[in-house]
Every structure is written in C-alpha cells, then in structure tokens.
Amino acid sequence: MVDVWHPFTQLQGFAPLGTVVRARGAWLELADGRRVLDGIASWWVNVHGHCHPRITEAIATQAATFDQVILADFTHAPAATLAARLAALLPGDLDHVFFSDDGSTAVEVALKLAWQAQGLRGQGHRTRFVALEGGYHGDTLGAMRVGARDVFTAPFDGLLGPTTFLPWDDGAAAERFFEAEGHEVAVCIVEPVLQGAGGMRLGSPEALARLAAAARRAGVILVADEVATGFGRLGPLWACELAGVVPDLLCMSKGITGGALALGATGVRGELFDLFLGADKRRAFLHGHSYTGNPLACAAALASLDLFDEEDTLGRVRAIDATYAAWHDRLAALPGVRDVRHRGVLLAFDLEGGPGGYLDPVGVRVQRAALAQGLYVRPLGHVVYLLPPTCITPDELDWALGVLVDAVGDALRPRPAAS
Ligand SMILES: *Cc1c(COP(=O)(O)O)cnc(C)c1O
C-alpha cells in the first residue's frame, strides 16, 4: 500500500524505484545500497550537486537565526539581499522581485500582475491571454490555462479560460498575430528558447527576439517563464540573454536555491511596479503566500549565487555542453534516435517507432534499462534527455552518455509479443 500520493503517477500497481537515504553531489544513495546518478538533477532543480556544503551551511546558519517570518509588515536581510542581487543579475531594468513558493506560483504572480497592470494603465479592454503551442507553465489553474492542452490538462479543460496559442519558434507568425490582434491582448507568456516539459524543444533566439519586439510594439506585457531555463541551464544565466530580450516579467524557481528548498520569484520592470503605487490600497497587488520570502530558502539562494562565482558554474555548463557536442554524431547515428539536440546542461533526443507523446511506453523502458546500470533518467514519453547537476565530472558524464546509449538500444530491441 502506498500512503504518499506520488506526483504524475498512476498508483495502481505502483512501486517506487527505490528509497533515497542520502544524496551527495550528482549521486543518490538508496536504502538497498545502490548508488544512482541523478541524470535529471531531480526534476531540473539541482544546480551544483546535492547537499553542497556552502548551501547546507547557509540553511543551517539561517535556521538557527530566524525561521519563517511574515514579510508583509517586516523585511529581513535574506529576502532583501536576494532581491537586490537578483535585480542586479536580471536583464535590463527588471529591478523588483516578488517572492512566492514555486514555479507555478511565480507564473500565477506574473499573470495576475500583468492583468492588473493593464487595468491600471487604462487598458482593461485587453482581455486575451497568449502563449505558445506545446508550452508548460505549471500545474495550478492559471498556469494550466496558458500551457498546452494535453493529457495533463484534459480532465480540467472546463476549468481553464481561453488562451490563444501561437506556433513555437515562429517569429514571423508572432509578428503577424501581434500586428493584427495584439491590441486585444493583455499578456503573452513564453518559455524562452527551450520548451521543457513540452518535450525539450529548443527554439531559435531570433524567433524569441522577433516575438518579444512584436509584443512590445503592440503594448502586450511579455512574461518570460525562466523557471526551467534560469540559473545557467542553457549557458548564460538567463535564456533571454541568448536573444537580447528584456521581458516585462521574468519567472524563476527550480534552480534558484541550487535545488535545496522550494522558492519562487517573479522579476518585475520598474515601469510596471510604478503602476501599483498610489494612495488607494486597491491599487496595490493584493497577493501573497504564507511562506513568501522564506528566510531559509533565500539564504540557500544567496549561497547558490555565490557558488556561481566561486565554482565558475557557467564554465562548468559550457564544459558539459562541449562533451555533448563531442557525443552528438555518435548519438545521432543510433537506430531509432532522431533530432539529437543540446544546449547548456541539456541534451535530448526523440525515439521513433512508438506512438510518441508522453504516454509512449518506450520512455519507461529506457528508464528501467538505465537504472539497472545506475543512471536515473525520466524520459518524457519518447523524449529522452539528460540534465545533470554541474558538479558531474567529465568521466561521469561520459559514463552516463554511454549508459544512455545502451539503455536506448535495450529499449528499442524488438521483443516477443506479449502472450
Ligand atoms: C517546472 C516548471 C514550472 C512549474 O514549476 P513548479 O515548481 O513545478 O510549480 C513552470 N514553468 C516551467 C517552464 C517549468 O519548467
């Protein structure tokens, strides 16, 4: 019997892959003595490796100083310092930071802020939401509204408001749309350069730049959802930098604490922030979460930012990408493997021959075969990917790629029909 209701999991007949008892660096240690390399950085949250002593110590020190305190009437150094450091690192004039709990709430905050801001600037007639086909922005109702309508959203379709979806990675289509209909649009949300959960699809920075410019010309508030791409996953600190884009709002979470604690944050341009100022309390953004600006999470995030300098994290990302480049042709030559792609710490490819999509059973076969050799991955159906912590050594990365090659061969090998 399972008491924990595991996420994204059919629990009938379910048995966990193992019980984690310890985690260090790129490795998970299981109760039965197995060591497993965390090939997807525990759902893309882990940046520097598990239990990095700098982050662990920062959390312990903060926990002994003060724990959660209300951020409505008080301020505190962890939140204030983190906001200032993020503002200095964020592109352009994204100078204000609203803290929340996770990626979904960072997106909810962005959508609500954008909607209210349009009203405050006399543009309340703009009621349309725009997003990109195949996107993913989280599992709350607002975030699902702007995500692709798929197997995840199907039971809830009746709850989700309308959204206009533009084609992924098509700057010309975005320009045509915003020129014709942009005056009706309140907000447009995009995952810059990489659609993560939607299938690890890489897009061109040029298409993003054209979309962003067209949205701006049309008076649309642009939200960059960097929950997956932020904190150097694609090379630069922010994927928006690849396109030279400064969005109006930028959502962060996953990697923000280095992977130790949950924290969401939404970066806001000064121009939008100023709209909410006034004598009338109703002009304020009346939104918050109980654990907003959690001091332990903020302390972890500050230590993680220090590590980017101390350990040249972005240099490590470049080295991982260079290893991927060296493996590219070998992977692309494998039978059944299609569209090998990589950028930063991400390498992905598709497997042909099955039904495709998230429910394609080939992903589970790849997972089983890789785990038998000590590598943990979690394919998105027919999309297999690696996204390891940056502490992975060159030898470990070569080993992991070799295991993946074997696992794919194993998963695609013709098997006797079930009797
Ligand atoms: C994971 C993800 C989210 C949701 O974050 P949670 O912390 O799971 O709520 C939102 N947007 C993108 C791009 C993500 O990858």
Q: Specify the 3-state DSSP secondary structure of 276.
A: coil
Question: Which tens digit of pLDDT belongs to each residue from 90-149?
Answer: 999 999 999 999 999 999 999 999 999 999 999 999 999 999 999 999 999 999 999 999
Among candidates 228, 398, 266, 405, which has minimal Cα distance to 332? Answer: 405
3-state SS assignment for residue 252? strand
The DSSP 8-state label assigned to residue 356 in this structure reads: -
pLDDT band of 366, cuts 50, 70, 90: very high
Rounded to the nearest angstrom, the distance between the alpha carbon of 32 and the centre of ligand 1 is 31
Determine which residue's CA is closest to atom 10 belonging to ligand 1.
137
Backbone angles phi, psi at 304, to 5 degrees: -65, -40
CA-closest residue to ligand 1 atom 6:
103
The whole-angstrom separation of Cα 152 and Cα 167 is: 20
From 132, 168, 195, 227, the mutation candidate for ligand 1 (largest count of ligand atoms within 8 A of CB) is: 227
Per-residue DSSP letter, 190: E
How much distance in Å is there from the Cα of 291 to the middle of ligand 1?
A: 18
Q: Is the CB of 116 under 6 A from ligand 1?
A: no
Whether pLDDT at 1 is above 90: no
Nearest ligand 1 atom to the CA of 103 is 5
pLDDT in tens, 270-322: 999 999 999 999 999 999 999 999 999 999 999 999 999 999 999 999 999 99
**Residue 68: predicted pLDDT:** 98
- Confirm or reject: Cβ of 169 under 6 Å from ligand 1: no
Is the Cα torsion angle 349, 354, 360, 366 positive or negative in sign?
negative
pLDDT of 73 higher than 90: yes
Query: Per-residue confidence at 418, pLDDT binned at 50, 70, 90?
Result: low
Q: What mean pLDDT value characterizes the chain?
A: 97
Helices 394-412 and 362-372 pack at an angle, to 10 degrees, of 130
